[in-house]
Copies of this chain bind each other. A is one copy, B any other.
Amino acid sequence: MATITFIGLGNMGGPMASNLLKADHDVCVFDLNPAAVKELTGQGARSADSLQSAVKGSDVVISMLPASKHVKSVYLGEDGLVHHMAKNTLVIDSSTIDADTAKAVGSALADAGMRFIDAPVSGGVGGAKAGTLTFIVGGEHADFAAAQPILSAMGQNIFHAGGVGAGQIAKICNNMLLSVLMVGTSEALQMAIDNGLDPAVASDIMLQSSGCNWTLQKYNPCPGVMEGVPSSNGYQGGFMVDLMKKDLGLAMDTAKHSGSATPMGALAQSLYTLHSGQGNGKRDFSSIFELFNHTKED
């Protein structure tokens, strides 16, 4: 088994590190929050009193951090890990950040003799705990192959999107499309309801026709149609509106950078921003359905 350093023990990182331990890997954890560290050492992880000492002797370093600036500073900042990791260390960054930062970190580490892949995830906290995350990886084939046995301890589907940065691009394209599916399905369902159809019947027809999409299959936004999804639980849990807003922000940056026209994605971003501005930022992103459901007001 591998000797792994895991950096960032938040809602996602904690359970991910825990699954590495269950797979008998030798894991040294690091987080600024002592409680999060204690939780993992209680499960058999080693800990260290500094980032720099945490990577000593590790073959693999995994990071799960909030945003680009944290990733940059951890690896390339003052006394960054680039100066402390052993040659050939495999660095796996699972944070969701912009592709340019991923590429910049990747090439700086490569110059220092290390290997880097960006491996953002989807599947949420539930997937992190169950070990059923989806990893979308950007990097060299050899590095992707080397990472697979480790990633499979934390996830189910592991995709190779292309070179370094491609993982971030593919994830952001997918989430932009997801936001369009969710808004488009919500307005179509509400139009069916407004014209007297039963949302369950309309959902079933579209699900079996050319309107079929992931939100009708797994995540129906209309309350009462599907059990065990946020829409049937007051839009609690699931994937927060403000996280979708963050991903759509990254998508718009990516589109601008590549000169891509994304009218549907841009409209979805505007509608999610309106929805968040009306106080729904912490609710599940399928609550956008309520933007169209005006029956309450009638």
Q: Does A264 contact B (CB under 8 A)?
A: yes
**Assuming A136-B205, A214-B211, is B188 touching A169 (CB within 8 A)?**
no
Q: How far is the CA of A206 from the CA of B187 in the complex (A)?
A: 22
Contact for A214 among B99, B210, B254, B268, CB less than 8 A: B210
Contacts of A178 in B (CB 8 A): 210-211
Contact for A191 among B181, B189, B249, B254, CB less than 8 A: B254
The reply to whether A259 and B276 contact each other, CB–CB distance below 8 Å, is yes
Contacts of A274 in B (CB 8 A): 261, 263, 291-292, 294
**Assuming A122-B210, A260-B273, A278-B294, is B188 touching A174 (CB within 8 A)?**
yes
Contacts of A181 in B (CB 8 A): 180-181, 184, 210-211, 213
Which one of A28-36, A38-46, A157-165 contacts B?
A157-165
Q: Chain A, 182-197, contact with B by CB distance < 8 Å: what is the 0/1 string?
A: 0111011111101111
Closest residue on chain B to residue A264 by CB atoms: B184
Contacts of A176 in B (CB 8 A): 188, 191
Contacts of A209 in B (CB 8 A): 122, 134, 136, 157, 174, 214
The reply to whether A180 and B180 contact each other, CB–CB distance below 8 Å, is yes
**CB proximity of A20 to chain B, nearest CB, Å:** 23
Interface residues of A in 57-78 (CB under 8 A from B): none
Q: Does A252 contact B (CB under 8 A)?
A: yes
Q: Chain A, 225-252, contact with B by CB distance < 8 Å: what is the 0/1 string?
A: 0000000000000000000000001011
Interface residues of A in 99-122 (CB under 8 A from B): 99, 122
**Assuming A166-B197, A294-B277, is B261 touching A205 (CB within 8 A)?**
no
Q: Does A173 contact B (CB under 8 A)?
A: yes
Copies in the complex: 4
Contact for A273 among B136, B206, B261, CB less than 8 A: B261
The reply to whether B262 and A191 contact each other, CB–CB distance below 8 Å, is yes
Contacts of A260 in B (CB 8 A): 187, 190-191, 194-195, 273, 292
**Assuming A166-B197, A217-B212, A292-B260, is B266 touching A270 (CB within 8 A)?**
yes
**Assuming A174-B205, A187-B263, A267-B266, is B211 touching A212 (CB within 8 A)?**
no
Q: Chain A, 276-298, contact with B by CB distance < 8 Å: what is the 0/1 string?
A: 11110000000000011010010
Contacts of A265 in B (CB 8 A): 184, 187-188, 191
Contacts of A122 in B (CB 8 A): 209-210
Contacts of A217 in B (CB 8 A): 212
In addition to A173-B188, A181-B213, A261-B274, 6 A-B residue pairs with Cβ atoms within 8 Å of each other are: A99-B195, A177-B211, A194-B260, A211-B214, A252-B256, A261-B294
